[in-house]
Amino acid sequence: MSRIFIRGTRRWVVKIGSSILTNNGHGLDRGAIDSWVRQIDFLIKQGIEVVLVSSGAIAEGMVRLNWTERPKTISELQASAAVGQTGLVQAYQESFRILHRNTAQILLDHDDIANRQRYLNARGVLVTLLKHEIIPIANENDTVSTEEIRFGDNDCLAAMVANLIDADLLVILTDTEGLYSADPIKEPTAQLISEISCDSEDLDTLVGDSMSKIGRGGMITKLQAARQAGNSGCNTVIAGGRIDNIMCKVAAAERVGTLLLANKKPLAARKQWLAGQLRVHGKLILDSGAVDVLSGKGKSLLPVGVIGVEGDFRRGDYVTCVDHMGAEVARGLINYSAKETEIIKGLTTSEVRGVLDIIGEDELIHRDNLVLI
């Protein structure tokens, strides 16, 4: 399969691992960071939005604390992350500033994705930053995380971010050139796998269980991340971060690294995720016009089409939409609380702005966060 479709992608998540961020365990590799920053600048000039998911906080903290081995206790890991996070972000800021670009630090944990209100907030912030060509630098919130700090690296987080912002491509940069047909250290004849379905059962026997002493992510976590991103219709490229201009080569559809192909279309996958994952917290009763707009035109739901509100839900909760006879029409993530929805139901967008002190989105439920039943 040709990689030419990559040239049409417009939103990327780029994950850079600890193993290539550090200079052989002696602090951050500023030269490598400068190179990746220049490549991201190139991508943005080509019209590609980029969220950078960067490991390295714990590794940088280890250097600053003169620790030669990754700590094993949660408190020491959190302390190392707290010390190293400032240096990591500062390194990126200084490099991007030379190119006259602004950055934003985004610290996330899995609760931010699982909680729908925080999910919408995180999505809104990231999309707004991208709109203004500001580079979000996301990292696991290691100073407060517990479970993921032990089992993660940032591969899984990168896949979650890809889902969060509807990314077209997840690029995982690591210390190997991609996935191989066998362990290249043990088998010199091992071949780089250029393209494969992320759901292929053959991959499970190929990735092994290797981990570096700096980071915690081996090829297993990268495969898991690719599959998670694939569930949202996002393709993944795993490639060597030290390859000269690697991101530019990926953008040019060159056959570098391993392309793990998603088997679902982005919209269909997102709708499936919405329909099957979340518990309903409330109900909206729609007039016939709103039912027709949702069912026939695939539009967002506006307050003007709502004639009744049931339940005690919050912003970001999953609600159901029914017609006046009680037949379910759709479900989705709502942008306002039950109290706010009760106030603005039946109102036009301009009228809403006159009754609420703080206005979020114009839509009650955006079409991207709505699934028809």
Q: What is the pTM of this model?
A: 0.75
What tokens does 169 get?
């491509």
Q: Which is higher by pLDDT, 276 or 77?
A: 77
CA distance 256 to 26: 28
**Is the per-residue pLDDT at 38 higher than 80?**
yes
Q: What is the pLDDT of residue 152?
A: 53
Q: Are residues 253 and 286 in the same domain?
A: no
CB 86 within 8 A of CB 154: no
Q: How confident is the model at residue 270 (pLDDT cuts 50, 70, 90)?
A: low
Q: Which residues span the domain enclosing 354?
A: 278-372
Strand bridging mode 235-240 / 258-261: antiparallel
Q: What is the pLDDT of residue 142?
A: 59
Q: Read off the pLDDT of residues 97-132 as tens digits, 9 standing for 90 and up.
A: 999 999 999 988 766 776 667 888 888 899 999 999
Q: Are residues 12 and 118 in the same domain?
A: yes
Q: Read off the pLDDT of residues 206-251 as tens digits, 9 standing for 90 and up.
A: 765 444 433 444 788 888 889 888 878 899 999 999 999 999 999 9
Q: What is the pLDDT of residue 109?
A: 74
Q: What is the pLDDT of residue 151?
A: 36
Which residue shows structure tokens 């759901």? 199
Q: Are residues 223 and 333 in the same domain?
A: no
Q: Are residues 224 and 324 in the same domain?
A: no
CB 221 within 8 A of CB 238: no
Q: Read off the pLDDT of residues 72-105 as tens digits, 9 standing for 90 and up.
A: 888 888 888 889 888 899 999 999 999 999 999 9
Q: Are residues 187 and 328 in the same domain?
A: no
Mean pLDDT of the chain: 86
Q: Are residues 249 and 298 in the same domain?
A: no
Q: What is the pLDDT of residue 72?
A: 81
| Residue that terminates a domain, selected from 245, 269, 293 | 269
Q: Which is higher by pLDDT, 337 or 184?
A: 337
Q: Domain holding 72: CATH number?
A: 3.40.1160.10
| Residue that terminates a domain, selected from 269, 292, 316 | 269
**Is the per-residue pLDDT at 163 higher than 60?**
yes
What tokens does 80 get?
């190392």
Percent of the chain with pLDDT over 90: 50
Q: Are residues 294 and 148 in the same domain?
A: no
Q: What is the pLDDT of residue 148?
A: 42
> How far is C-alpha 371 from the chain's CA centre?
21
Q: Domain holding 318: CATH number?
A: 2.30.130.10
Q: What is the pLDDT of residue 249?
A: 97
What tokens does 41 get?
């600048």
Q: What is the pLDDT of residue 372?
A: 86
**Is the per-residue pLDDT at 27 higher than 70?**
yes
Of 215-229, 298-312, 359-373, the range with the lowest mean pLDDT is 215-229
Q: Are residues 309 and 225 in the same domain?
A: no
Domain count, the chain: 2
Mean pLDDT is highest, among 11-20, 116-125, 142-151, for 11-20
Q: Are residues 9 and 131 in the same domain?
A: yes
Per residue, the 3-state secondary structure of the chain, as one string, reads: CCCHHHHHCCEEEEEECHHHHECCCCCECHHHHHHHHHHHHHHHHCCCEEEEEECCHHHHHHHHCCCCCCCCCHHHHHHHHHHHHHHHHHHHHHHHHHCCCCEEEEEECHHHHHCHHHHHHHHHHHHHHHHCCCEEEEEECCCCCCHHHHHCCCHHHHHHHHHHCCCCEEEEEECCCCCECCCCCCCCCCCECCEEECCCHHHHHCCCCCCCCCCCCCHHHHHHHHHHHHCCCCEEEEEECCCCCHHHHHHCCCCCCEEEECCCCHHHHHHHHHHHHCCEEEEEEECHHHHHHHHHHCCCECHHHEEEEEECCCCCCEEEEECCCCCEEEEEECCCCHHHHHHHCCCCHHHHCCCCCCCCCCCCECHHHEEEC
| Residue that terminates a domain, selected from 251, 269, 287 | 269
What tokens does 205 get?
């026997």
Q: Are residues 130 and 111 in the same domain?
A: yes
Q: What is the pLDDT of residue 237?
A: 97
Q: Are residues 215 and 326 in the same domain?
A: no
Q: Are residues 123 and 176 in the same domain?
A: yes
What tokens does 204 get?
């499970």
